Amino acid sequence: MTDAAQRLADVVRAEGRLVLATLARTTRSLSVAEDAVADAVETALLRWPRDGVPDQPRAWLTTVARNKALDALRREAARTGKEADAVRLAQLSAPDEPEPSAVRDDLLRLLFTCCHPALRLDAQVALALRTLCGLTTADVARLLLLPEATVAKRLTRAKQKIAVAGIPYRVPDAEELPARLDAVATVVHLLFTAGHSGGTTVVRPQLCDEAIRLGRLLVALLPDESSLQGLLALMLLTDARRATRTDEGGRLLTLAEQDRTSWDADAIAEGAALVQGALRRSRLAAGRFELQAAIAACHATATSVPGTDWADVVALYDALLRVEDTPVPVVRLNRAVAVGELAGPAAGLTALDAIAGLDRWHLWHACRAELLLRTGRQDLAVAAWERALDCAPSPPEAEFLRRRLAGTGAATHGDEPAAVVDHGPRGSQEQGA
Amino acid sequence: MPTYAAILYSRDADWTAPEESSTMADYGAFSAVAGPAVTGGAALFPTSTATTVRVQGGKGGDVLTTDGPYAEAKEVLSGFFLLDAPDLDAAIRLAAQIPAAWDGGVELRPVIPMTG
């Protein structure tokens, strides 16, 4: 790639979503805006290598894209003779360069449009990656492990619905805002969770990076929302352990096996500070993201598994159980594991066996196996691992379970602490997809 | 301004019966609140009065008439409104005030503008 082409790729990636957000507002059509931005990029690809990269690439792209959109809308207006298009044309013709604060507001509007509850969740996810992260359709497809044609169809349908059904480009009113913010946070969290636990590999780093980038954008746009700070903190604290989740061979490692010195100290510090701020803001009304982030902070800032403040962890899980919309059985499973660390494996086992409805979930059996082993019931532990393997775990998890199963014959792990797989972001895994 | 069809799905009731008077009063209240946003609509007799017509083999084929609604369901199409609203959010706010939304559901469908 030439310098100019590389520079263009970087600028488009960084600024494209801003140009798109402004044009989506002025044209009131995501399709028109997207086509115009794509045309502007194509023009830049032709001219920049020849004429050099302009001083203000974004302003250049905005102007060219606006002219392309004007052309497109003029053609459309001539064809249909509609009054509405004249209004859009007038708005577009205003040659003002948008203020940074206006661009910020445009992006916020686009965010709420892409995450509108009238769109299917899978469409929201694809739209967020395409428009807010500025990825190509091919990249979105690759990240979501879907055929490109499927993603293209999904995006086209979503954009058509936005246009035809009249999903507005606006920030919701104060009374609607909490529910709509929750929808936005759910989309971002879903992206992050998919990056962490989907597919055949353990972690898809780029998907996590995009989710964190969106999380940062949310916090920047709405700095007073503690749930968004909690969400970003949760992602940072979980992602700080990315490198140690697996060994060189791609095999899952337990929390106890992970090399804590390899955790990303900067991300942990940033995440922990965000958690403190979020909890201070939300006080007693802390939501699921603040609480999950606080739990992640307990793990990330502890020096070892036994050195973790398990009493705090159990208390936070108790608080999480009181929050609405939490997938309760999953939270209770994680809480039972923490109880096992705090009060011993027998107490953990009692807590685990008190949860109904997880019989088809491999992690429930896997956690039982670890706790049974530590109470000295190796025969029952083996049976529990076998049940876990019957519950269709992902390939890396199955490999881990088989490894544990094979290992029990050779050695006793009677007092090995926290032998469960690091269950990081799974607290809400069952909410989406 | 876009027009939306608000298609009402609710229990299968005879809205003219005396025991439905309070529900009908709720609909009256909605019409009063929505005012000029409502540009049309109709309430339908129960599905026990419905007749479904199908022409077998396409245009010009045999007319097949059956007693009852197109699809049997617990909640049935019981009426519709035509709503003028500036955008989907405004239409959703209106739809949430339609009594059918309280115990059934209201489907919002944008209406294709017919010109000329």
The confidence score (pLDDT) of residue A417 equals 39
In a domain, A57, yes or no: yes
Whole-prediction pTM: 0.77
pLDDT tens for residues A120-158?
Answer: 999 999 998 888 887 888 888 888 888 999 999 999 999
Q: Which domain holds residue A275?
A: 231-431
Of the residues A32, A67, A98, the one at which a domain ends: A98
The contacts of residue A84 (CB under 8 Å, 6+ apart) are none
Of the residues A67, A98, A129, the one at which a domain ends: A98
- Name every chain A residue with its beta carbon within 8 A of the beta carbon of B89: 167-168, 170, 172, 176
Tokens of A48: 């920049």
The confidence score (pLDDT) of residue A369 equals 94
In a domain, A253, yes or no: yes
Among B87, B108, B110, the residue with its CB nearest the CB of A168 is B87
Query: Whose structure tokens read 């027009």?
Result: B3
Same domain, residue pair A250 and A397? yes
The contacts of residue A422 (CB under 8 Å, 6+ apart) are A241, A245, A252, A253, A254, A255, A258
In a domain, A282, yes or no: yes
Tokens of A345: 């494996």
Q: Do B88 and A167 touch (CB under 8 A)?
A: yes
Interface test with A, best of B88, B106, B114 (most A CBs within 10 A): B88
The confidence score (pLDDT) of residue A26 equals 85
Measured between CB atoms, does A49 come within 8 Å of chain B?
A: no
In a domain, A202, yes or no: no
Of the residues A98, A116, A149, the one at which a domain ends: A98
Q: Domains of chain B (ranges plus CATH)?
A: 3-110 (3.30.70.1060)
The confidence score (pLDDT) of residue A350 equals 95
In a domain, A114, yes or no: no
Query: Identity (one letter) of the amino acid at A415?
Result: D
A263-266 contacts, C-beta under 8 A, 24 or more apart: A263/A300, A264/A239, A264/A240, A265/A240
β-strands B38-43, B76-84 pairing: antiparallel
Q: In chain B, which residues touch A (CB < 8 A)? A: 2, 4, 85-89, 91-92, 108, 110
Which parts of chain A sit beneath pLDDT 50? Answer: 198-199, 410-421, 423-433
Same domain, residue pair A238 and A94? no
pLDDT tens for residues A20-56?
Answer: 888 888 888 888 898 898 888 888 888 888 888 888 8
Angle between helices A83-93 and A57-80 (to 10 degrees): 160
CATH number at residue A386: 1.25.40.10
Q: How many domains does chain A have?
A: 2
Among B2, B86, B88, the residue with its CB nearest the CB of A118 is B88
| ipTM for this model | 0.85
In a domain, A396, yes or no: yes
